[in-house]
Amino acid sequence: MAPIPAVGDVLPPYRVAAVEPDKIRIMALVLRDPNPIHYDVEAVRAAGMGDREVNQGGVTMAYVVNMLAAWTGSRAAVRSIECRFSANVFAGDAVDVGGAVRAVREVAGERLVDCEVWADRGDGVRAIHGTATVALPFT
Residue-by-residue pLDDT tens, the chain, 139 positions? 457 899 999 999 999 999 999 999 999 999 999 999 999 999 999 999 999 999 999 999 999 999 999 999 999 999 999 999 999 999 999 999 999 999 999 998 889 999 999 999 999 999 999 999 999 987 6
Q: How many CB atoms lie within 10 A of CB 21?
A: 17
Sequence-distant (≥ 6) Cβ neighbours of residue 48 within 8 angstroms: none
Residue 1 lies in a domain: no
Left (φ > 0), alpha (ψ -120 to 50) or beta: where does 75 sit? alpha
Residue 57 lies in a domain: yes
Beta strands in the chain (DSSP E): 14-16, 78-85, 95-107, 110-121, 126-136
Number of domains in the chain: 1
pTM of the model: 0.93
- The DSSP output letter for 55 is P
Residue 81 lies in a domain: yes
**Under 8 Å between Cβ of 38 and 56:** yes
Nearest by Cα to 67 from 120, 4, 6, 1: 120
Which domain CATH number covers 48?
3.10.129.10
